[in-house]
Each structure stands twice: as C-alpha cells, then as structure tokens.
Chains A and B, each alone.
Chain A
Amino acid sequence: MTRMATLPFHPYRREQQLAWRNRIDRWREHGSETAFHGLAILFALGFVMFLAIGAWPRLLTALATGLSRWPLAVSCAAMFAMCVHHASLAQSRRQLWARHWLNPQPIEPRLRTWTIRRGMIGVAMVHALIGIVVMAKLSRGPASMMIWCLLTVAAAWIGNHIGKSAVVPAAQREQVLRNAGPGSFTRWQWIEATATLAPFRLKRALWLILLGPAGHWTGMIVVLVLVACFVLLTAWSRSVSVLAQAERWLGTQPLAPARLLRDGLPGPVVILMLACGFLFFVFAATASLSWFVPLSIALVAAGALHYACAAAERRRPARIGWLYAGQLLLLAGVMQSVPFLLLPLFCLQIFLLLRGALRR
C-alpha cells in the first residue's frame, strides 16, 4: 500500500484499477456463474493449446521450408502482418482516447502519448518474443534474431505512423467513393464494401509499399498481394456487418428473415467471387494452380460459415465473432480426429445456423 501511494497519479491507470476492482467484486458476487464461465474459458484455452501443440511441428517445418525457399516473401509477409497489427491498434487506441470520457479533463499530453506508446511497446515485445522462439527452434543464429528484433521495432514505428495518419473525424471516416443511387440492401452493402477503398484508407496502404525492399520486385508484389487481401477481407466484414446493422433499425419493420438473408447475400457472394478470382490469378502467376481448388473451397466454406453465424446472431452482433471462432474450432478438431465427418458436420452447422436465423 505504501508503495502504491508513492507512485505518481496516473488517471488512466487509476481508472483501469478501479474498473478491475469493480469487475472482481462483481465476479465474487456471482460466484457460481463466474466459476462456470471460468471453466468454459479454460476448456476452450486447453482445446486451442491442444491444437496448437499438435500443429506446432508442422508449422515450424512449413516456416523453415518457406524461409529457405522464399526468404524475402516470408519476411515481407511477417513485416506486413506486424505493421497492420500495429496500425490497427494505434488507430483504435487513438480513436478511443479521442472519445474517452476523461478527454476534456486537464491531463498532461505526455501521459496520453505514453499510454498509447506503452501498448505499442508491449505488442512489439510480444512480436519479438514470438520471432525469437521460432528462430531458436529453427536453429537460427543471434544475427537473425537481432535482425528480427530490428524489424519488430521498424514495424512498430511504421504501424504507429500509419495509425496516426488514419485517425480522421467520425463524419469524415464514413465517406465513401459514391453513395448516390436508389436505396436498396444491395446498394447499402456496396457502399459499405467500397468504403474500404475511400482515399483516406488507401493512404495507409500506400505506406505499406515502403515495406518492399528496393530493387526486389518479388517483395513488392508480395506486399501488393497482401494489401489486396487486406482490402478484400475488410470489404467482406463490412458487407456482412450490414445484416446486424439492418436488424437494429429494420427489426421493427414487417421484414421476413428469409428476405433479409436473401437480400444480404449478393454483396458477400460478389466479394467471395472476387477473392477466388484473385486466388486464381496469384496461383497462376506462381505456377502452383494445384493449390487453387482446395484453397478456393476452403475460402467459400469459411465465408458461408461466417455469413450463417452473422445471420444467426444478427441481434447480438458482439457474439458473432465468438460463435464463428467456436464453429471453426469444432471443424478444426473434427478435421484432426475424424476427417471423414468434416463435410457432414459442416452441412449440419450451416443448416442449424440458418434454421436459427430464419426462426428469429
């Protein structure tokens, strides 16, 4: 307690402490419920660990093969992923602080900056640690580890910069390329999906071109491919999120669930087709078309499952991610243990989710 008292007053830290104290008090009040949730989380974590431990040697082998065959592409992909992670974290944190309830209070600007940077340093350290562990397992020398650590620092810097430039006022954030035309569900999804291509968002992507090493076209192409994946993924999630948004304000209208689901389908289907076309282009360019069919099927299946989850939980959008993760985990578990049940299970999942979505 004495030590706590000597620490300088930090309003954000203090808020977090109070929030955690209240949270723990609430958990204590509802002991049995907390125990049930805790057990469920432990079980899920254990299952993930079980899968991860099983997949670890294969992942390492794949990484070793990738690093030896395409060192530049793997490095660029890792750097890209770290930059995107940092950028999205920096952006969400800055937006959070801009709308924070303590924002109008007289708080030293260095405390705000430090709070954002502390989070970024933590993430960079986790990235560095993961890389060091992987490299140790792959028996790479200290020089490689040092380069990896420098890369994590560079990714934190670039990501922070991208996240900073991407913070725009809410009114400006939702600007789209073209929002004219008749009001329809498909039009709405189109507007949501193309918002990904709004100029201020593309500015971020332009920064990522810096990741491509000078004089190496392969690296540049890898970065551009990853940027395209990122854009397609964002367009997909925005277009599917329209289901939950529609439920919020059209739920009181005489709109049959079947019609909502049917009208919400064209946008995601078009994006899936674009993604498959993109996959074909990438595999054709790299002369490995044998990968195209299985990966396209996996992509379409994952998309269908996500759409079904979003439809089933459209009234509680916060649960969509959890439901989807649970369904994917189940599929992964079955694929590991009884692979021949994979297809029937997938069909059953889709059937049950859509039945739930149509009933509500």
Chain B
Amino acid sequence: MTALHISELQHRYGRNEVLRGVELVLHPGELVGLVGPNGAGKSTLLRCIVGAEAIQHGAIQVAGFDIARASFQARACLGVAVEPERLPNLLTARQCQELVADIRHERAALPASFELCGALGLAPWLDRPVHEYSLGTRQKLAIVLALIGTPRLVILDEVLNGLDPLSAYALKEALRRRTQQGACVLLATHGLEVAERFLDRAALLLDGRIAADWDATALAKLRADPDGGLEHAVVAMLRERAGASDRAHVTPDDGA
C-alpha cells in the first residue's frame, strides 16, 4: 500500500491557479524532499494533503484513505508539524503532547516523545507555557507533536531552517529511524544540500506540477558528480524555465 497517492490534483485561489495536475506517489520507508522556488505551491500542496484546503479537483489518498471522503481515518495516519505560531500559547509542551497522545489513543508513545524532546533540547521547556518560547523552540514542539505515535506519513514544512546544528542532527536521526520503521516522511525544503545528502528521493514542484523526481539512484549519481549535484540540476531547470518564460513574453515586433 502506498503512503501517499496524489492524482491530478488541481487547486486555485480565485483566478490564480496554484496546482495544475500534481501526480505523486510515495511509498512506506521513503524520506522524500519536496523542493521548488518560492510560490511554486509547496505549502498549498501540503495543506491539501493534510485536509486544510478543500480538494477542488483530483484526489489524495493517505495510506489508502481519501482525505476528502475519509478524513478521520486519513488524519489518523498523518503526522503534521503545524506552523509554530498556531501552537496554543497558554498550554505547556507537556500538556500539548498529552492532549495529542489522547486524541490519537497513543498514551504509550509519550515516553518516546519526551525522549525526543530531550534530544532536541526541549526538555527544560516542557513545563513552561508556549508563549514563553522562541520561534525555534516552538518549531521543535511542532515537530515533536507531528511524531507522536506511529503516523504512516509525516509532513514537515521547512522544519530544518530554524534549528540549531545539534537539534537538526537529532531530528534527522529521528526521521531516519521512523523511515526504517516503515513510516514515510515528506519534507518541504529549500535546503538543496540537505535534500541531496539526507533524503532518499527529491521531487521538484514547478509551475504547479512535479517537474522532476529524483530517486535514490539518481540522487547518488548527482552526489557522485563533482561538477553537478542536486543544486546544479535544480538551478538548470529553473533557468531553463525562466528562459522559456522570457521567450514567451517576447513578441515578434520585439525580435524585429
């Protein structure tokens, strides 16, 4: 069974068409990066996957459950790191984790969750209210909440950006362990070096479509190429698109 199956997903805000037929299939045990320029639709795609945006066209299945028709079952298979500013200001990190564990019927997962808090340097903040946290500390809590229990698909949006090196390393270790246990992790990121070295697969979202999909073998090849790398490949594609876009804007009169 696939961890995530997206077919023909289209989404628009008013007249602005953001997603134009996204096709993506993720399998259990994969650590996948979603890369793309600003405004490519990464966050919209993630919001559609977690059910925060209504599906306008196409379908999304999480672990076999349609997010629109069986949202409860689909969400039970999802672990999502919410935006740090959405966390409840008055609750403590411990209370947040207990509440989420109760909702997911995963009380037994709490010791592991507190252990992850320790690894991420969140332990001193466990009993402090969220409004006292810095942005980075809030982000750590959001990550910990996404990993409570045994979600089959973990969705993380730009979570490595605000983390200190030690916490980033601990998080990568934790994510790697999760994938070894059979979970799939989808990580939206701008860090192409991280994507190249750490991930099993990288998908490039461009103009509302998956424009390129590098599997583990392709990523290994890119790593081995001293003049290339994922960054080189992505930049080449973006430049090619920018060139095509410029050419499309040049009228015959301009050329004459």
Interface residues of A (CB under 8 A from B): 9, 11, 14-15, 18-19, 22-23, 26, 98-109, 169, 171-172, 175
Within B66-98, the residues touching A (CB, 8 Å) are: 71-73, 75-76, 78, 80, 82, 86-88, 90-92, 95
Chain A residues near B100 (CB-CB < 8 A) = 102, 105
Partner of B104, one of A22, A103, A106: A106
The reply to whether B75 and A106 form a contact with Cβ atoms under 8 Å apart is yes
**How many residues of B are counted as interface, with CB atoms below 8 angstroms from the partner's CB atoms?**
28
The reply to whether B99 and A18 form a contact with Cβ atoms under 8 Å apart is yes
The reply to whether A169 and B53 form a contact with Cβ atoms under 8 Å apart is yes
Chain B residues near A171 (CB-CB < 8 A) = 13-14, 16
The reply to whether A109 and B103 form a contact with Cβ atoms under 8 Å apart is no
Check if B51 is an interface residue, CB within 8 A of chain A: yes
The reply to whether A109 and B72 form a contact with Cβ atoms under 8 Å apart is yes
Please name 24 pairs of A and B residues whose Cβ atoms are closer than 8 Å in the assembled complex, sorted by A. A9-B103, A11-B103, A18-B90, A18-B99, A19-B88, A19-B90, A19-B91, A23-B90, A99-B86, A100-B86, A101-B87, A102-B103, A103-B52, A104-B51, A104-B75, A104-B82, A105-B104, A106-B73, A106-B76, A106-B103, A107-B103, A169-B13, A169-B53, A172-B14
Complex Cα spacing A23 to B91, Å: 9
The reply to whether A104 and B52 form a contact with Cβ atoms under 8 Å apart is yes
Interface residues of B (CB under 8 A from A): 13-14, 16, 50-53, 71-73, 75-76, 78, 80, 82, 86-88, 90-92, 95, 99-100, 102-104, 129
Chain A residues near B87 (CB-CB < 8 A) = 101
The reply to whether A22 and B90 form a contact with Cβ atoms under 8 Å apart is yes
Complex Cα spacing A15 to B71, Å: 22
Report the minimal beta-carbon distance from A60 to chain B, rounded to whole angstroms. Answer: 41
Chain B residues near A107 (CB-CB < 8 A) = 72, 75, 103
Partner of B99, one of A15, A26, A98, A172: A15
* Residue of A whose beta carbon sits closest to that of B98: A18
* Residue of B whose beta carbon sits closest to that of A14: B99
Known contacts A22-B92, A101-B87; is A108 also within 8 Å of B72 by CB? yes
Chain B residues near A102 (CB-CB < 8 A) = 99-100, 103
Report the minimal beta-carbon distance from B148 to chain A, rounded to whole angstroms. Answer: 10
* Residue of B whose beta carbon sits closest to that of A105: B103
Chain A residues near B72 (CB-CB < 8 A) = 106-109
The reply to whether A22 and B78 form a contact with Cβ atoms under 8 Å apart is no
* Residue of B whose beta carbon sits closest to that of A104: B80
* Residue of A whose beta carbon sits closest to that of B148: A105
Chain B residues near A105 (CB-CB < 8 A) = 75, 100, 103-104
Report the minimal beta-carbon distance from A140 to chain B, rounded to whole angstroms. Answer: 44
Partner of B88, one of A101, A104, A106: A101
The reply to whether B13 and A18 form a contact with Cβ atoms under 8 Å apart is no
Report the minimal beta-carbon distance from B10 to chain A, rounded to whole angstroms. Answer: 15
The reply to whether A22 and B91 form a contact with Cβ atoms under 8 Å apart is yes
The reply to whether B91 and A18 form a contact with Cβ atoms under 8 Å apart is yes
The reply to whether A15 and B91 form a contact with Cβ atoms under 8 Å apart is yes
The reply to whether A175 and B14 form a contact with Cβ atoms under 8 Å apart is yes
- Pairs A-B, 3 closest by C-beta atoms: A104-B80, A106-B76, A171-B13
Complex Cα spacing A169 to B52, Å: 10
Complex Cα spacing A35 to B129, Å: 22
Q: Give the residue among B14, B51, B76 with the most A Cβ atoms within 10 A.
A: B14
The reply to whether A22 and B129 form a contact with Cβ atoms under 8 Å apart is yes
The reply to whether A15 and B88 form a contact with Cβ atoms under 8 Å apart is yes
Report the minimal beta-carbon distance from A331 to chain B, rounded to whole angstroms. Answer: 34
Report the minimal beta-carbon distance from B185 to chain A, rounded to whole angstroms. Answer: 15
The reply to whether A109 and B71 form a contact with Cβ atoms under 8 Å apart is yes
Complex Cα spacing A171 to B18, Å: 11
Report the minimal beta-carbon distance from A4 to chain B, rounded to whole angstroms. Answer: 14
Partner of B50, one of A18, A19, A99, A104: A104
The reply to whether A11 and B99 form a contact with Cβ atoms under 8 Å apart is yes
The reply to whether A172 and B13 form a contact with Cβ atoms under 8 Å apart is yes
The reply to whether B95 and A18 form a contact with Cβ atoms under 8 Å apart is yes
Complex Cα spacing A297 to B129, Å: 48
Report the minimal beta-carbon distance from A98 to chain B, rounded to whole angstroms. Answer: 7
